[in-house]
Structure 1
Amino acid sequence: MHLKFVELFCDVVQYRSFSKAAAAHNVSQSAASQAVNLLEKHLETKLIDRSVRPFELTPAGEVYYEGCREIVESVHSLEDRIHKLRDKVAGVVHIAAIYSVGFLQMDAYIKGFSERYRDAKVRVEYRHPEEVYQEVLDGEADLGLVSFPRDRGEIVSRPWQDQPMVLVVHPQHKFARETSISVKPLDGEPFVGFTSDLTIRKEIDRWLKKSRVSVQIVHEFDNIENIKRAIEVGTGGAILPQPTIEREVRSGSLVAIPFSDVQWLRPLGVIHKRQEHLSNATQKFIEYLLSQCPTCVGDVLPTGNEHNRKHEGSATRAVSGANPEGKSKSIEETSDAAASPSSDIGTADGEGNSRRKKRQTHLI
Structure 2
Amino acid sequence: MRYTLRQLEVFLAAAHYENITRAASHLAMSQSAASGALKELEQQFDVQLFDRVGKRLQINELGRAVRPQAEALLEQATAFEQALTRHTDIGQIKVGATLTIGNYLAVGIVARYMAEQPGARVQLEVANTEHITNKVLDFELDIGLIEGDFHHPDLDIIPWRKDELVVFCSPQHAFASGQRVSDRSLLAEPWILRETGSGTRQAFDRAMHGLLPQLNIALELQHTEAIKRAVEANLGLGCLSAITLEDAFRSGRLKPVRTTAKDFGRHFYFVLHKQKYRSAGIQRWLDLCRG
Q: TM-score, normalised by structure 1?
A: 0.54
Q: Point out where structure 1 has 5 or more consecutive residues left out of the alignment.
A: 1-12, 14-55, 292-364
Q: Which residue of 1 aligns with 2:101?
A: 101
Q: Which residue of 1 aligns with 2:122?
A: 122
CA distance in 2, matches of 1:126, 1:223: 11
The question of whether the paired residues in 1 share the 8 Å contact of 2:148 and 2:200 is answered with: no
The more displaced of 233-242 and 149-158 is 149-158
Which residue among 61, 76, 98 is the counterpart of 2:22? Answer: 61
Q: Describe the shift of the 1:188–1:83 C-alpha distance in structure 2 as closer, same or farther (beyond 3 A).
A: farther
Moved over 4 A (4+): 56-59, 66-75, 179-184, 196-200, 211-214
Residue by residue over 1:192-236, the C-alpha shift from the partner in whole angstroms, topping out at 9 and shown as x without a partner, is 133456565465345334369944222222443332221122101
Q: Describe the shift of the 1:120–1:179 C-alpha distance in structure 2 as closer, same or farther (beyond 3 A).
A: farther
Residue 57 of structure 1: CA displacement? 10
Q: Describe the shift of the 1:102–1:233 C-alpha distance in structure 2 as closer, same or farther (beyond 3 A).
A: farther
Q: Point out where structure 2 has 5 or more consecutive residues left out of the alignment.
A: 1-12, 30-69
CA distance in 2, matches of 1:247, 1:132: 27
1:22-171 alignment runs, 5 A limit: 59-65=20-26, 76-82=78-84, 90-171=90-171
Q: Which residue of 2 aligns with 1:266?
A: 266
CA distance in 1, matches of 2:218, 2:208: 16
The question of whether the paired residues in 2 share the 8 Å contact of 1:183 and 1:261 is answered with: no
Q: Describe the shift of the 1:202–1:132 C-alpha distance in structure 2 as closer, same or farther (beyond 3 A).
A: closer
Residue by residue over 1:103-142, the C-alpha shift from the partner in whole angstroms, topping out at 9 and shown as x without a partner, is 1322222223333344433221112322211211222211
Bigger proportion of residues as helix: 2
Residue 180 of structure 1: CA displacement? 6.2
What is the SS of the residue equivalent to 1:164? Answer: strand
CA distance in 2, matches of 1:197, 1:122: 25
Q: Describe the shift of the 1:94–1:198 C-alpha distance in structure 2 as closer, same or farther (beyond 3 A).
A: closer
CA distance in 2, matches of 1:196, 1:131: 12
- Percent identity, aligned pairs only? 22
1:188-203 alignment runs, 5 A limit: 188-196=188-196, 200-201=200-201, 203=203
Q: Describe the shift of the 1:261–1:90 C-alpha distance in structure 2 as closer, same or farther (beyond 3 A).
A: same
The more displaced of 142-151 and 204-213 is 204-213
1:319-334 alignment runs, 5 A limit: none
Q: RMSD value over aligned CA atoms?
A: 3.7
1:160-309 alignment runs, 5 A limit: 160-178=160-178, 183=183, 185-196=185-196, 200-201=200-201, 203-210=203-210, 214-257=214-257, 259=259, 261-291=261-291
The more displaced of 169-178 and 58-67 is 58-67
